Structure 1
Amino acid sequence: MKFEVSDLLFPAFTKDAMKNLDKQYGIEFFYEFGKDYYWNQQLEDWGERAFSIHAPCVALNLADKEQEIYKQAMEKTFAYAQKCKADFVVVHTNEAIAGDKEQLRELVISRLRKVITLGESYGVKVLIENVGLRTKNNVLFDLPAYLALFETFPQAGALIDTGHAHVNGWDIPEVVKALGERLAACHVHDNDGNGDAHLPVGQGDIEWTAYFDAVKKYAPQATQVFEYCCGFNNTKDLEEHIAELKANYKL
């Protein structure tokens, strides 16, 4: 089982903290929050290790029919992913939604088809993340619709975000089982079911024993990306936390 750390934990000028992260851990970074020259320097500082990229999701919304910049933004993302030999690029189906859900799903699927084809042209693996929150009324792809995406796009991989799934009431171990070998990665973080808090494992009420047991049994190939936004201000304490998880859950 492979492990990565999202740079969400160390934003802006604190990203240099990641250069102290043990090389056994990969790094997933939010490409939209920096120019290429910035990421070139970050990757040099972070050293040789596994990388993955989170595609634009703040300034980009595939469910917004007025936004036509998505192809340009995604092509830049894939070009950089190719350059840094990223293992995969994570793509959101949508952010805020407004309008008829069926029509919006059709729009997003048509755009995903173009995005995935573009990714293939750069030799980049595209992972589709489960997004939207019950508490924000922006769930466009519920569980059946999300799983159906991988029948439509068998060439894409799945990325399960545990926090989103928990807020939306999904049975996460059963989702892991259903996806099986299609599950390429997971965003791992905790919450109390009422909001997307991005807490460290154990600080919410997700049933982690059942989750990790399911991953070990049905999707051991899935990279575990710790997508925390709080709880640690240095990589030493973070590494101790991950080591404790690996020991407790026999990872």
Structure 2
Amino acid sequence: MSELPILGAAMTLKDVELNRDWLLEKPRDLELQDFVSAEVLSGDWQPLVDRAKQLLDGHQGRLGMHGPFMGLNVASADPDIRAVVARRMEQALDVAAALDITQIVIHSPYSTWMHNNLDNWPDQRQRVFEATHQTLDAAVKRAEEQGCVFVLENIEDKDPADRRRLVEDFNSPALALSIDTGHAHYAHGSTGAAPVDYFAHDAGNLLQHIHLQDADGYADRHWPLGHGNINWRAFFARLSVITSNPRLIIEIRDKSQIQASAAHLAELGLAQ
């Protein structure tokens, strides 16, 4: 990224109503978070789609959504669970098609426990790859045809290379990498992972999405930017050499602090 990047945010439609002027003042990317739960995806989501189209009239940024993740594991060893996860991904793609959404965030299968046990059994690393392919292959192929990209977000990941290699194994333009800064900082502070900027260095140009949240290295805080102790200058320095133009999505718990978070990075001279 050579120019000062424009920040976007993750919001529900209610949050969009509160931050609409800020969202529309520049071509800010938006990640909708109304279509996460099974109840919504299996229900009548058309009224939400209609409301989104109304609120986003005039929006010039890229539109994404957080995909289903609660209770789901894209690398489950149980074929019945894989079938459920695959169905949820298809439902998410249905929503994406209805709203011309071009990016869907999904969660990494790698856990802290897995990090210490991947080499404890023969072929365990390959088994994770195979299970993920069995879960996501059909959805990734459909996403390619639909002009949509799944981005795989770190959750408990200790070694970012594991997730990168999984994405590389798909060899598809419809599966890329996401970094959640708070998750990476938790892994750094609590499990001994590398610092947040190292996650960006490892991802390189496979990186197409970032959740920006601040934290203390102990828990998944989703604090406003500037309220924790993430080294933002180091992180954005790593981003400056990445040319894949990842979406910079402020994802914090208190949505009333989205604009203040953007102002914090602007004051640091890192983004606008």
| TM-score normalised by length of structure 1 | 0.81
Cα deviation, residue 244, structure 1: 3.5
| Identity %, equivalent residues | 19
| Structure 2 match to 1:202 | 226
Cα deviation, residue 14, structure 1: 5.3
Say which SS state the counterpart of residue 22 (structure 1) adopts: helix
Contact 1:53 1:88 survives alignment (8 Å) = yes
| TM-score normalised by length of structure 2 | 0.75
| Structure 2 match to 1:107 | 131
Unpaired runs of 5+ residues, structure 2, are 119-123, 189-193
Contact 2:161 2:202 survives alignment (8 Å) = no
Cα deviation, residue 13, structure 1: 5.4
**RMSD over aligned Cα, in angstroms?**
2.8
Cα deviation, residue 52, structure 1: 0.5
Report how many aligned residue pairs link the two structures. Answer: 237
Contact 1:176 1:219 survives alignment (8 Å) = no
Cα deviation, residue 172, structure 1: 2.2
| Structure 1 match to 2:121 | none
CA shift digits 1:112-131 (9 cap, x unpaired)? 33332232232211211112
| Structure 2 match to 1:32 | 36
Q: Structure 1 residue runs of 4+, over 4 Å off?
A: 11-15, 95-101
- The one-letter code sitting in structure 2 at the alignment partner of 1:6 is A
- Partners of 2:128 and 2:47 lie apart in 1 by 36
Cα deviation, residue 152, structure 1: 0.4
Q: How does 1:133-144 map to 2 (within 5 A)?
A: 139=157, 142-144=159-161
| Structure 1 match to 2:69 | 57
Say which SS state the counterpart of residue 128 (structure 1) adopts: strand
| Structure 2 match to 1:135 | none
Cα deviation, residue 186, structure 1: 0.5
Q: Structure 2 vs 1, CA of residues 219 and 15 (structure 1 numbering), >3 Å: closer, same or farther?
A: same
Q: Structure 2 vs 1, CA of residues 123 and 218 (structure 1 numbering), >3 Å: closer, same or farther?
A: closer
| Structure 1 match to 2:261 | 241
Cα deviation, residue 48, structure 1: 3.1
CA shift digits 1:140-183 (9 cap, x unpaired)? x7423112113202322111111111111232222212222111
1:171 lines up with 2:183 in the alignment: no
